[in-house]
Amino acid sequence: DIQMTQSPSSLSVSVGDRVAITCRADQSIAGYLNWYQQKSGKAPKLLIYGASSLQGGVPSRFSGSGSGTDFTLTISSLQPEDFATYYCQQSYSTPYTFGQGTKLEIK
Amino acid sequence: EVQLVESGGGLVQPGRSLRLSCEASGFTFDNYAMHWVRQAPGKGLEWVSGISWASGNIDYADSVKGRFTISRDNARNSLYLQMNSLRVDDTALYYCAKPKTATPGSLDSWGQGTLVTVSS
């Protein structure tokens, strides 16, 4: 199975901050990397697919980059509604493993 | 509008069985693979199982292989997860999820989840 490691596991940030979350695969997954946002008590929401493609309806302050084993989710200017937990997921091969999550908290 | 509605969760004793259902609407169900993803209380997401549109390809996480069976009924627009020999660590909120058309593992629609609690 492909192991996905996110960092950091939590981050204290302020509205307006630029935020970067990284995700590393233990083998190459080309560009088969997705990012999800999950708010408390809600189902996950797809933000980025194929490492860098923005899902429809997702604000342009979210962006994704990377290929191979190293990936980054960037939020250019954090908004109040962005405080949530973010997960990466590889869709290169089953089982489609997720990272352990990164929780954004208000500083 | 895509809708996925899970049902069938509940409290069950270790070793017993439970069958989850997911009713889909708002899209052409038999054009898509479908997946189950779970989330233990306070924990992260774990992909559980996936099934291709015609049930020809089926995969499971190692943690459930041999105990869980995924299936679908395209005539009923429904996805199922038969869970046998349940263990305490199967306790989780179980989501069904639909992938994007051209990127099979990118899950763009999720249900609200159904809670499975395994406890004596």
Q: How far apart are the first and last CA of chain B?
A: 40
Low pLDDT (below 50) residues in chain B: none
Q: Does residue B97 contact residue B34 with C-beta atoms inside 8 Å?
A: yes
Chain B positions touching A90 (Cβ under 8 A) are: 105
**pLDDT tens profile A54-94:** 999 999 999 999 999 999 999 999 999 999 999 999 999 99
Distances (CA, A) of A11 to A17, A81, B16: 11, 15, 40
**Cβ pair A1:B62 closer than 8 A:** yes
Q: What's the confidence (pLDDT) of residue B103?
A: 79
Distance between B103 CA and the closest CA of chain A, angstroms: 8
How many helices and strands in chain B, by DSSP H and E?
A: 0, 11
Mean pLDDT, residues A100-105 taken together: 97
Closest Cα to residue B79, out of B92, B103, B96? B96
CA B49 to chain centre: 7
Interchain contact B5–A (C-beta under 8 A): no
Q: What's the confidence (pLDDT) of residue B73?
A: 98
Interchain contact A38–B (C-beta under 8 A): yes
Average confidence score pLDDT of chain A: 97
Chain B CA closest to residue A97: B47
**pLDDT tens profile A6-41:** 999 999 999 999 999 999 999 999 999 999 999 999
Q: Does residue B47 contact residue A98 with C-beta atoms inside 8 Å?
A: yes
